Every structure is written in C-alpha cells, then in structure tokens.
C-alpha cells in the first residue's frame, strides 16, 4: 500500500472451483479502491480485511496482492467490482451431433452454423430419404453462401450420417420402409446404429441437438386426427428425442448438453397446428424436465428445449399456415419490427451448450420475440 493515490487489488481464489468441460473456473472477487488520505487508507484496510475474513474459511483459499505495476487503473474503474469480464461462448474442442439438417434454411442449419462459429466440430444426422439431395447440393456448392462464417472460412461437417430417428433399431423397421427405394444403399441409420457409428468414428461427444419433427396429419384438426397419425406425430417429434438421449447419453462427456426444439402450441391453442403436433410438443417439454433429472444424475449432462417462434423454413411451409403465423407474430409480439431469424435460435443453442449455461437444465427457453407472454392479440379489433 502506498500513501497518496493508489489502488490495491485483492483477489481471492477458492480451491473448490467449478469444473466444466474439463476447464476450471475459479470463483474470484476483485475489490478496487483508491485512497488519497490516511482516513481512506484505514477504510481500505478494513474492507480488505473483511473480504479476506469472509473467504478465509473456504478450503484452500489464498490471498494475492498484485504487484504495484499491475495496480494502475483508470478513474472509471476505481471502486468497481468486476467479475468475469469479457465473457464469450467458446466451444473449441467440443463435438456436436445435430440431427435433422436437410437444407440450409431451417433451424438445424442455423444451429450447426452457430456451433461452428463458436468452435465446435459438427457432425450431422440427416433423414435418409433427404440425404442424397442434401449431400449433392452440398458438394455442388449450392450452400456455399450459407456456409460462410464470420471469419471468412466455410462451415464444414465432420461427417454426415443417414438417420431416421423414428426407429431405435432395425427390428423396429417395417418391411415397407426396409424395402423402400429411398432407403436403398444406406445402412446403419436407426438411432442405436448411428450412435454406435458416431462413437466408433469420433469417440465421446459434448453436444446433442434434436432438430426434427413430423406429423403426417398436421393439417387436420385434432378432432379429425386418426390414432395412427397422432401416434406417428408423438413418435417422430417427441419420443425420438427420448431415444436419442437414451443412445447418445452414454457417449457424452460429463458436462455435455442436449437441446431440442419446441413450439408455443404445446401450451396455447394454435389453430391449424393439428394432427397431434401440439400434443407432441407438450410431451417433448415434459420429457425435457424428466430427462434433465434422469440424464443429469446418470451422465452429468444437461437437457433443455428451445421454444422457437415461427420461421418460414421449407419444412414449416409444409404445414400451410406458417406465413399467417409469421404475420401474426409481427403484429403482436413485443419485438415486432422484424421476423425471427433462424440464427437467433442457433445463438441461443450455442449459449445453452456452453459453460456459461452450466447451471441451466430442464428449461423451456423461449426465443420467439416475446410472443409467449402475450395474452391477447394487439391487432384485434377490440383493441383498436
């Protein structure tokens, strides 16, 4: 400590630092205070003593006073408490498996791109009937513009596997699918087989993304939905997530994260979103909470789902009313100046899969421009 203007920085480190993804983040407290007079000096010593006494009971705590050369600080920062300045999403060295990418304009692609931007190695699982078209378009450069990353490089996929998440193993595959020409030439595409192939090719992974859904009778009201159509929606859109975590969970590193995508229709009535799809999304969200508990206890991984707003992707347009939902959101969502961008879902996914979200699990995270909070339509004639 110097007489006159000076700054003392006392930093305490807890040896019981948290360990996430093999990295250590020690808890720290920085106390900065400027002194100019003897009275101020006494106050500073008192504060430093208080901080030290509060932390001394922690096992392995040690007190470090930084050298004078490192004490200089601007007037703006004096007297401030600074914790974890300069946070960023860093997924370097992490391996991610993303299921449900079949083109470059959906959520799955945007998620893959965000994970790549953060440094993760991305592995894909693509629906078998769409695989040939997707790989051909990829090779011919049709996705090159979409593949460009912020640093000028191109997003690359470590490998693309054929996958149909409706089937756990080949015993589940009916004859009409097994002999379907769209599946010809492909093998080992059930969930359990793909998980085994990924483990053989890449070893452990850190991130698992479920970005797929299908409701063969989605255009039908629930009152007109058949049992077969309803159960098909549940199987493809929600149980597939359970199956993926069952089979990929054992090959995920502790501290890993699993993410799925849901929709507001799980809890609110969205006319036109039928065929049991609203029920499937409700099941997905309930399963997220249960899986967060079970997979967290069993493998030490986190499980969350993102409730995404409407996006005019190729898959969504098959529903038929997606443009109406986008316009409705633009008219009524709190953030109404722009439609939702798929990369916003990607960014949220990257965050939830990073060490920054190490305490978040079992959550439904809304990324929908705030549409989920609305209880009445602002564009209704009643409000005009």
Catalytic residues: 263, 273
Residues 166, 221, 310, 111: what is their CA dihedral angle, to the nearest 10 degrees? Answer: 0
What is the biggest distance separating any 2 CA atoms in the chain, rounded to whole angstroms? 88
CA dist 345 and 100 (Å) reads 14
Mapped onto helix, strand or coil, the DSSP state of residue 245 is helix
Going through the chain in order, the beta strands assigned E by DSSP cover 6-13, 18-20, 23-25, 30-35, 62-65, 95-99, 121-127, 157-163, 205-210, 252-262, 302-308, 364-367
Q: What is the DSSP string of 271-294?
A: TT--TTHHHHHHHHHHHHHHHHHH
> What separation, in Å, do the N-terminal and C-terminal C-alpha atoms of the chain show?
67
**By the 8 A CB rule, do 154 and 148 touch?**
yes
Please enumerate in sequence order all residues whose Cβ is within 8 A of that of 228, keeping only pairs 6 or more positions apart, or say none: none
Nearest CA to 118 out of 151, 143, 83 is that of: 151
CA dist 89 and 99 (Å) reads 22
Mapped onto helix, strand or coil, the DSSP state of residue 88 is coil
């Amino acid at each position: 400590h110097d007489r006159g203007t000076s700054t003392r920085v006392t930093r305490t480190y807890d040896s019981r630092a948290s360990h996430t993804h093999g990295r250590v983040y020690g808890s720290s407290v920085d106390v900065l205070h400027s002194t100019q007079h003897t009275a101020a000096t006494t106050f500073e010593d008192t504060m430093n003593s208080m901080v030290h006494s509060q932390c001394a009971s922690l096992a392995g705590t040690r007190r470090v006073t930084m050298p004078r050369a490192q004490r200089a600080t601007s007037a703006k920062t004096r007297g401030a408490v600074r914790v974890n300045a300069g946070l960023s999403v860093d997924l370097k060295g992490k391996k991610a498996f993303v299921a449900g990418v079949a083109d470059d304009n959906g959520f799955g692609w945007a998620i893959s791109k965000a994970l790549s931007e953060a440094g993760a190695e991305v592995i894909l699982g693509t629906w078998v009937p769409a695989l040939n078209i997707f790989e051909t378009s990829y090779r011919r450069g049709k996705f090159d513009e979409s593949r460009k990353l912020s640093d000028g490089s191109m997003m690359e996929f470590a490998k693309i596997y054929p996958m149909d998440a409706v089937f756990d193993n080949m015993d589940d595959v009916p004859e009409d699918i097994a002999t379907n020409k769209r599946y010809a030439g492909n093998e080992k595409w059930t969930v359990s087989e793909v998980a085994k192939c990924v483990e053989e090719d890449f070893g452990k992974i850190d991130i698992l993304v479920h970005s797929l859904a299908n409701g063969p009778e989605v255009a039908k009201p629930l009152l007109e939905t058949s049992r077969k159509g309803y159960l098909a929606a549940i199987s493809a859109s929600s149980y597939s997530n359970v199956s993926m975590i069952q089979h990929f969970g054992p090959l995920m590193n502790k501290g890993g994260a699993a993410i799925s995508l849901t929709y507001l229709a799980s809890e609110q009535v969205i006319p036109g979103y039928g065929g049991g799809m609203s029920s499937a999304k409700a099941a997905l969200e309930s399963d997220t909470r249960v899986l967060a508990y079970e997979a967290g206890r069993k493998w030490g991984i986190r499980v969350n789902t993102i409730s995404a707003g409407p996006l005019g992707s190729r898959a969504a347009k098959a529903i038929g009313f997606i443009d109406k939902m986008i316009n409705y959101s633009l008219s009524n969502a709190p953030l109404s100046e722009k439609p939702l961008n798929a990369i916003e879902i990607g960014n949220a996914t990257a965050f939830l899969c990073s060490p920054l979200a190490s305490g978040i699990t079992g959550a439904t995270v809304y990324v929908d421009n705030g549409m989920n909070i609305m209880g009445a339509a602002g564009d209704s004639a009643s409000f005009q």
